[in-house]
Amino acid sequence: MDFEKVLVLLRALHDEGVEYVLIGALGMTVHGVVRATQAVDLFVRPEADSIARLRRALYRVFPEDLTINEITVEDLAGEYPAIRYNSPDGSLSLDFLARLGKAFSYDDLDFEMKTYEGIPVRVATARMLFDMKKDTLRLQDRADAEALKQRFNWGD
């Protein structure tokens, strides 16, 4: 993952007014819990205007990639509300989500605005990230939850 492209993406998301919430390892990094990752995970509001803004933001980062038009609200609002986008140059892998099963949807997420590397970012709160990760079967998620717990001295 190309860190400079991540920053360009975050700036484009902000500038285009995309309704998103950063989650996953990068969301944890914004809260000071750093770990390596292969993908940027974003919840996106599954509405036409928000997806149009998302596409505009992606075109600012990858202007030559016509496959960006294949990202649709119908996909994110559908039965399998997740889209993986891999940039044509291999620098970024992005996971766009509208919900995680029945556990979390875009509207369920608590988020806050934080500044990361000088860029305003909509990121899930640390407690929200913890709640999303603590009870999953995936070992990495449980390790992430424990790292958040330690970072914020929670006694949960």
Which domains are seen in the chain, by residue range? 3-151 (3.30.460)
Q: Which of 150, 104, 105 is nearest to 131 (CA)?
A: 104
Over residues 13-37, the pLDDT tens digits come to: 999 999 999 999 999 999 999 988 8
Q: For 77-135, how does the pLDDT look when each residue is reduced to its tens digit (9 = 90+)?
A: 888 899 999 999 999 999 999 998 888 999 999 999 999 999 999 999 999 999 999 98
Phi, psi of 47 (to 5 degrees): -130, 150
**What pTM, to 2 d.p., does this model score?**
0.94
> What CA–CA distance (Å, rounded) separates 2 from 70?
23
Q: Which amino acid is at 147?
A: A
